[in-house]
Amino acid sequence: MAQNEKIFKDVLGGYFPTYMRPPYGSCSGQCLTDMADLGYHVINWNIDTLDYQGNIPNSQSIFNNAVSTNAAANKYIALAHDVHQGTVQTLALGMIQTAKARGYRIVTVGECLGDASGNWYRDAVTGNARAGGGTGGNPGNPGPVVSTDGTCGSNSPGGVYNCANSGFGNCCSQWGYCGSTSEYCGANCQRGFGNCN
C-alpha cells in the first residue's frame, strides 16, 4: 500500500485515495484491521463484468443485465480492469452509455457510498484528510485530471477529466469531449475543464 501511495502522490500531485479494492475481492479479518489501521476503506463490487476473460460483448451483456432501470433505488460498483485494452476502449464507454441511458450518474466511489468528501483522499505529507470531488477550482478538491480518452467534464469517468494538454484539443465542449474547433471552444465550452475562446 505504501508503494501505491507513492505512485498516487506523484500522479495526483501530493495526495492519494483512501479506498482500496483487495485483490480478488478477498480481505481477511486481519487484512481489514490492517487496512483500517492504515486509514483505508475496503471496497468491493456488486457487478463482476468478467472482462479479464477477454470477451467484451459478454462483459457488456453481464453489465446490461445486472443494471436495473430503477436508478433511484440502486447503486452499483462494477469490476473492470483498466489493464485490458478492450475494457478501456470499448467496455468502459458501453457501461457509461448504459448507465446514463437508465438514469444513473457516474460518480466517485465515495459519492456512491454516501461518504463525506473529506474522507475520499489523504495528503501524502501530513496524512490528513483532504476533501475531494473533482469539481476543480477549489484547492480542497483534487480537481481535473488530464483526459486520456478525449472525454472531459461531467462526461468523463468520475467527472474530472480536463482537456488542457490532453492531445485531443484543449477545449471541453458542452457535450463533454475535447477538441480545438469553435464547436468545442466557443459557446457553452466548459471553462472548468479546458481552455475556451
Confidence at residue 132, expressed as pLDDT on a 0 to 100 scale:
59
Tell me the residue range of the domain where 56 lies. Answer: 19-119
Q: Is residue 35 in a domain? A: yes
Confidence at residue 73, expressed as pLDDT on a 0 to 100 scale:
92
165 and 93 share one domain:
no
Confidence at residue 123, expressed as pLDDT on a 0 to 100 scale:
86
The CATH number for 156's domain is 3.30.60.10
Low-confidence ranges of the chain (pLDDT < 50): 133-143
Q: Is residue 9 in a domain? A: no
d(CA 8, CA 172): 25
Q: Decide if 78 contacts 63 (C-beta within 8 A).
A: yes
Q: Is residue 110 in a domain? A: yes
27 and 97 share one domain:
yes
Confidence at residue 148, expressed as pLDDT on a 0 to 100 scale:
80
Q: Decide if 165 contacts 140 (C-beta within 8 A).
A: no
Residues 24-63 pLDDT 10s: 999 998 999 999 888 888 999 999 999 999 999 999 999 9
The CATH number for 70's domain is 3.20.20.370
158 and 192 share one domain:
yes
105 and 154 share one domain:
no
Confidence at residue 103, expressed as pLDDT on a 0 to 100 scale:
94
Based on the structure, what is the number of domains in the chain?
2
d(CA 65, CA 19): 27
98 and 159 share one domain:
no
d(CA 97, CA 101): 6
Cell of 33: 484491521
